[in-house]
Chains A and B, each alone.
Chain A
């Protein structure tokens, strides 16, 4: 109990320190609006990658439809705050986005999560495409041209807090009864089944939580960038999120943080390279995958428990 409190306080200090560091750097002018944009983009990508990592890395379900759930959040927020631009409606819209994303994830997940591997990937990709096409053809969403001048409520502190909240939810879920059940499903479905674990239920739970966090990221994106279109949420976006997960390490939340940060910085640094940018970006990816095929972190996590007791745990760290 005491030890748990100690680790939790460490995490809390880290989060608060990060916040004030960012704040200070903006005040003294080290972080200008260009860098702030980069940091916020990294934050949104962290939310997306952590959620997808839960589905792929921890529950072992290869989903390629993450951008679809992101779109749900983005449009819920855009539509609601364009009509009523108040902070209260903005926060309400995040919740509405999450609820719709959960419903969509149940509708998508119940038939598709019985599929395996490649089939699941294709089915979830198709589902995300359907979501995009629906948005593309609705009046309320302004069709293919998208929505503009969305009020900006998602400032960097809001995004920062959302990164913390979604990560806490995902990590704490992983280290609880449900998360362990999801891990068992990833490890061996037949054994999990024989141990009394409702394999389908826990797959679905991980999938739904992943979708809910993606919706939060979508809400942040819409209200930070202030303009969205259905094409922002196509298969390329799902793949971009997948790249972060794979690059950081499938099954490492820390890895998703590291990879989102590295890619965000590389991407920003290459802004002035024009067409060459995508080539260099791709090259960086290929190099990392050649020299570290299991991703930057493998399945390892940053853990205060291990930092304090270096010998106590050889592997499988708990944060």
Chain B
């Protein structure tokens, strides 16, 4: 197992507030890791740093690319995405006025080419490419049982389905790492169980690395192989679910917060 993403001494300040403080972490190939912590712990901020949406105040993020290590600090989000990192958003950010199919096709933009002349004059090559990527998109949607919603506008989907579409959209970019920010937020227990199973299945079938944010600790216990616990911007603990369960600092933070 080799390290795919390595984070060293990562800090993010918002004015006087340190949202992420000296975080060190790493992600290996083909594993499902959870990032937990109470609300406001800095989990989403950490995601934003890793995916290039915001720039770190200091520290380093390194990605193992096909030809060597690539520093990600300050790199544009779309370039980071094209290296193989995809994400979902805690407060859903679908392309609302567009169809389910278009949402997925858009995420595939970097993975195929269409030249301007072929598209504009509708040459046979254009239809061929369109048919191929459309098929690819439908295959992905099938996994999440959304193949019948192709022409629905994203904004008209039920809440839980919108969250699933965000995951499909992330997968459509062909990521090496998929970052999921509270994918089960707002779902009922049944939907949550269903989604959890799907996330596990997708991670396993696509051999990708998944970093899953969740603030419900019990949910990730039998899902993740490793867990990072974030509290007030700093890493409180890391380890296997068992180690985390028995970690005094974690128990204290969680009981302190939620009791």
Report A's interface with B, CB cutoff 8 A. 1, 4, 8, 168-169, 172-173, 176-178, 180-181, 183-184, 187-188, 190-199, 299, 312-316
* B82 CB to nearest A CB, Å: 5
Does B110 lie within 8 Å of A176, measured CB to CB?
no
Q: Which of chain B's residues have a CB closer than 8 A to the CB of A168?
A: 120
Question: Within 8 Å of chain A (Cβ to Cβ): is B247?
Answer: no
* A318 CB to nearest B CB, Å: 9
A-B contact count (CB 8 A): 113
Q: How many residues of B contact A (CB 8 A)?
A: 42
Question: Within 8 Å of chain A (Cβ to Cβ): is B86?
Answer: yes
Does B151 lie within 8 Å of A198, measured CB to CB?
no
Which 7 pairs across A and B sit closest by C-beta, in order of nearness?
Answer: A176-B119, A196-B81, A187-B95, A191-B93, A196-B110, A193-B77, A177-B114
CB nearest neighbor in B for A205: B116
* B51 CB to nearest A CB, Å: 6
Q: Which of chain B's residues have a CB closer than 8 A to the CB of A193?
A: 52-53, 76-78, 81
Question: Within 8 Å of chain A (Cβ to Cβ): is B169?
Answer: yes
Given contacts A172-B120, A196-B173, 6 further A-B contacts (CB under 8 A): A176-B130, A177-B109, A177-B113, A177-B119, A187-B97, A194-B81
Does A180 lie within 8 Å of B77, measured CB to CB?
no
* A185 CB to nearest B CB, Å: 10
Given the known interface contacts A1-B127, A195-B106, the answer about A188 and B153 at a Cβ–Cβ threshold of 8 Å is no
Does A316 lie within 8 Å of B120, measured CB to CB?
no
Some 23 contacts from A to B, beta carbons below 8 A apart, are A176-B120, A178-B114, A178-B119, A180-B98, A180-B106, A180-B109, A181-B106, A183-B98, A183-B102, A184-B106, A187-B97, A188-B94, A188-B96, A193-B76, A193-B81, A194-B51, A195-B86, A195-B169, A196-B82, A197-B78, A199-B78, A312-B151, A316-B97
Does B120 lie within 8 Å of A173, measured CB to CB?
yes
Of A178, A181, A191, chain B has the most CB atoms within 10 Å of the CB of A191
* B170 CB to nearest A CB, Å: 8
Does B98 lie within 8 Å of A172, measured CB to CB?
no
Report B's interface with A, CB cutoff 8 A. 51-53, 76-78, 81-82, 86-87, 89, 93-99, 102, 105-107, 109-110, 112-114, 116, 119-122, 126-127, 130-131, 151-153, 169-170, 173
Q: Which of chain A's residues have a CB closer than 8 A to the CB of B52?
A: 193-194
Does B97 lie within 8 Å of A194, measured CB to CB?
no
Q: Which of chain A's residues have a CB closer than 8 A to the CB of B151?
A: 312-316
Does A195 lie within 8 Å of B81, measured CB to CB?
yes
One of B98, B120, B130 near A169 (C-beta < 8 A):
B120
Q: Which of chain A's residues have a CB closer than 8 A to the CB of B121?
A: 172
CB nearest neighbor in B for A191: B93
* B107 CB to nearest A CB, Å: 4
Q: Which of chain A's residues have a CB closer than 8 A to the CB of B130?
A: 176
One of A8, A173, A194 near B87 (C-beta < 8 A):
A194
One of A4, A183, A194 near B77 (C-beta < 8 A):
A194
Of B51, B78, B106, B122, chain A has the most CB atoms within 10 Å of the CB of B106
Q: How far is the CA of A194 from the CA of B87 in the complex (A)?
A: 7
Q: How far is the CA of A181 from the CA of B112 in the complex (A)?
A: 12
Q: How far is the CA of A314 from the CA of B122 in the complex (A)?
A: 25
CB nearest neighbor in B for A316: B99
* B54 CB to nearest A CB, Å: 10
CB nearest neighbor in A for B105: A180
